[in-house]
A and B are shown apart, each in its own frame.
Chain A
Amino acid sequence: MAKSEKASKAPRSASRIDRPQEGEGGAHGLRRTLTLAGRRKKTSRVTIEAAGPASRISLRAPAESLAALSRALGVKLPEQPMGSAFGKSGDFAGTKGTGKGGGRAALWLGPDEWLVIDTEGGDPIADCRKAKVLHSAVDISHRQVAIDVSGAGAADVLSAGCPRDLSLAVFPVGAAARTVMGKIEIVLLRTAEDAFRVECWRSFSDYAFTFLAEAARDVP
């Protein structure tokens, strides 16, 4: 008990994202390694690599709360199926070359459900707290990890396990959806014509990466 009280009084780090310590680093001599650290698969048509750390929240809210939450988060929460929205400044990881940024993305998952991802050290939970409207925000930063899939063969590789139509006409740049890939559930975001971000649960990340890497063997 005393230990946790002490921990709660400790000053908060500047960033909520637990970045892996370099070298021998860390105040306690501990080194933190991300689940997919160092995993990378590259063929001539596709590159699959672990995305960097991010803060994530699962946000549930009724329609009348959306304006205030959008203001607090700095991202207009999308209300259309498969919609996504990005913040105004900075870069959202994986959206290079799309002109989208903000370090933060809000993905429509259901009629009252969003996944908010912040890749620039922001604190979406704290931002939501500023909005004095009915909502539920749960920090799921460490429940999920992301994998970036890019290159001309990106859609082909994903289609090895994802049953969605990933043609640009049906799943355009900015489209987001919770769906499946192989045996697992994922959240898929198309960040560019030839780039996707795959969000999966942490304990499935080895399966997800291996699945994509195996599929890439057929997309040389």
Chain B
Amino acid sequence: MLLIRCPYCEQELPEIEFRNAGEAHIARPTHIADETDDDFEKYFFIRTNPKGIIYERWRHVHGCARFFNAVRDTVTDRFLLTYKAGEPKPKRLPGVGK
């Protein structure tokens, strides 16, 4: 079973307690009514969908119920890092060059 570290529970817990909640670090426009249709489409629908490293929101829905962020490799399904909601995008990732 895949284990995911919850930054609030401070331990690795079974994947079945968690739920994916889409891509992370997507800023909601401050004046959403003023957005052009094209900009709104980019904000609302367009996601990076990378092959490799992705920054995602996850929720420990059947545990502490908190949302947090995770860095995952979409090729290997390996979680590189998880961190609390609101914390900045980590610059350095464990096991990744650059």
Contacts and interface: CB of A to CB of B under 8 A. Distances in A.
B64 A113 contact: yes
Contacts of A81: 8-11, 64
B21 interface: no
A185 B65 CA distance: 12
B66 interface: yes
Is the contact region of chain A dominated by helix, strand, or loop, or is it mixed? strand
Interface residues of A, number: 13
A110 interface: yes
A178 B66 contact: no
Nearest to B61: A185
Contacts of A111: 8, 64, 66
B81 interface: no
B98 to A, nearest CB: 33
B62 interface: yes
Contact of A164 (B10, B13, B64, B66): B13
B56 to A, nearest CB: 20
A131 interface: no
A110 B14 contact: no
A179 B64 contact: no
B63 interface: yes
A218 to B, nearest CB: 20
A110 B10 CA distance: 11
Interface size grouping (class) on chain B: 10 to 19
Nearest to B11: A81
Nearest to B60: A110
Nearest to B16: A163
A111 B66 CA distance: 8
A131 B10 CA distance: 30
A164 B14 contact: yes
A154 interface: no
A180 to B, nearest CB: 5
Interface string A144-182: 000000000000000000011000000000000111100
21 contacts: A81-B8, A81-B11, A109-B64, A110-B8, A110-B63, A110-B65, A110-B66, A111-B8, A113-B65, A163-B1, A163-B14, A163-B16, A163-B17, A164-B13, A164-B14, A177-B63, A178-B63, A179-B17, A179-B62, A180-B16, A185-B62
Complex A-B, nearest 8 residue pairs according to Cβ-Cβ distance, in ascending order: A110-B64, A163-B14, A81-B9, A180-B62, A185-B62, A110-B65, A163-B16, A111-B8
